Structure 1
Amino acid sequence: MVTATVREWRDEEGWGVLDSPETPGGCWGHYSHIRMKGFRTLSPGQLVELRWEAPGFRQDGYAYRALEITPRDG
């Protein structure tokens, strides 16, 4: 897991982009990847722990995909 910052999160669509030194250009994440109880959403600028994979470029241009996103306390 690496520390990442939420770049943007689209609540209405349930996905967003996270940035970390290991995922240049951004890592695509979906609300189903978030490890937390209840309504799962993130806020721009929020710090998270990120586990990711590099399956290759998607149509939207992101080469990295989140496998697990854990919001950090504080």
Structure 2
Amino acid sequence: MVTATVREWRDEEGWGVLDSPETPGGCWGHYSHIERPGFRTLSPGQVVLLQWEAPGFRQDGYEYRAVRIVPRAR
């Protein structure tokens, strides 16, 4: 897992973009990838741990997709 920062999160749609050195251009993530029961949203600038994959297709314009997002304590 790598450290990433939330670039943006669309609360109403339940997805957002996370940035890390290993995911140039951003990594697409959905609330279903967040490893905390009941979490549906993340805040821009929030630091998380990210496990990602490059699935071979573009999801919403992003080459990387989150597999697991672990919010860090604020």
Same fold (TM over 0.5): yes
- Shorter-chain TM range is over 0.9
Listed as ranges, the gaps of 5+ residues in structure 1 are none
Q: State the number of aligned residues.
A: 74
Q: Does 1:66 pair with 2:66?
A: yes
Moved over 2 A (4+): none
Structure 2 distance, partners of 1:9, 1:59, is: 15
Amino acid across the alignment from 2:33: H
**Aligned counterparts of 1:52 and 1:59: Cα–Cα separation in 2:** 13
Q: What does the per-residue CA deviation read over 1:51-71, in whole Å, with 9 as the maximum and x for residues that have no partner?
A: 000012415321000000000
Distance 1:34 1:64 in 2: 16
What TM-score, normalized to structure 1? Answer: 0.93
Question: TM-score scaled by structure 2?
Answer: 0.93
What percentage of aligned pairs have identical amino acids?
84
Secondary structure of 1:43's partner?
A: coil
